[in-house]
Structure 1
């Protein structure tokens, strides 16, 4: 399966920021991620890179990332554009039951896995990162997985519903959003 096809199948994205009043007691961690969870900046396949891309077909680019948004512009086949960023929106996370004990869950700035997962624990697939790694939700936090978690036979990523929106700027300086995967040069590995 081509990488972009895989990304389109699995798609999702971004950090959710929450604030609480300093004096308020801590709220219990959510067991499942919120609906429409957004992971900003995720490029959801191995070697995926936001940079100059080339349209491989005619592509509509919209003003906003929502159904019914007005058309901002269209890219023509072979037209170059700059992919600025993206967001993978997880509309439904895949629910994964851990079958055997494992150390997993990586966070930026932390050494080693942060979680000791036990049989029966539930994690939620948020977005693919390529080569069997994922972003996943566990008890209110988002982690990067190891390949061990990604290789579990219980993972059925097809249960997830994700949409990958890309922010594109054309040569005239206009920017907008598209869900199209019809681009060349998105894969830095070739």
Structure 2
């Protein structure tokens, strides 16, 4: 019984660590496969400048090859690493938060609620974190304070492959043909 009381007392003093951990996304949250602007698609791209391509997702990793302006390449996939999520303050009651396979919003927010923007998707849509889960937003969240992401820190790593079949990673945005809208 004393052990049980000690555990309960510990939770009262320290709070429940798992509940707090789920309020905010973890640091360096990885959103795999995200192409973070409207009509963005991983496919055949063209380098519009000279671009170093690294062995791994670190600017300190060795450069495995360089792309040159107008060189064709294949964009294979990407990951948006959210080092610090953008804080979005809900300023009016809205329904939002979509999950794959659902056509209806899953969440009802009230003024004062906070969600954490993980990655823009384009056209006022975002991936966001709320109470331990990731959702896609609709236009409802687009006008909320903080949705501009100015306080967020995100890095978009792209895995690319050159014509010789070498693969690597870059954070460069100097590509054309990434936008399927034109």
- Relative to the length of structure 2, the TM-score reads 0.87
Is 1:144 matched up with 2:136?
A: yes
Match of 1:107 in 2: 99
Q: What SS does the corresponding residue of 1:120 show, helix, strand or coil?
A: coil
Q: Which has the higher helix share?
A: 2
Match of 1:91 in 2: 83
Give the distance between the partners of 1:155 and 1:164, measured in 2 at CA.
Answer: 18
1:4-59 Cα shifts (integer Å, max 9, x gaps)? xxxxxxxxxxxxxxxxxxxxxxx536100000000000000000010000000000
Larger Rg: 2
Is 1:133 matched up with 2:125?
A: yes
Q: What SS does the corresponding residue of 1:53 show, helix, strand or coil?
A: strand
Match of 2:52 in 1: 60
Give the distance between the partners of 1:74 and 1:165, measured in 2 at CA.
Answer: 16
- Relative to the length of structure 1, the TM-score reads 0.83
User: What is the count of residue pairs matched by the alignment?
Assistant: 164
**Structure 2 residue runs without a partner (length 5+):** 1-17
Give the distance between the partners of 1:103 and 1:188, measured in 2 at CA.
Answer: 30
Is 1:172 matched up with 2:164?
A: yes
How large is the Cα RMSD of the aligned pairs?
A: 1.1
**Structure 1 residue runs without a partner (length 5+):** 1-26
Give the distance between the partners of 1:97 and 1:44, measured in 2 at CA.
Answer: 21
Q: What SS does the corresponding residue of 1:148 show, helix, strand or coil?
A: helix
- Displacement, 1:111? 2.8
Taking a change above 3 Å as real, the CA distance of residues 63 and 154 of structure 1, as seen in their structure-2 partners, is closer
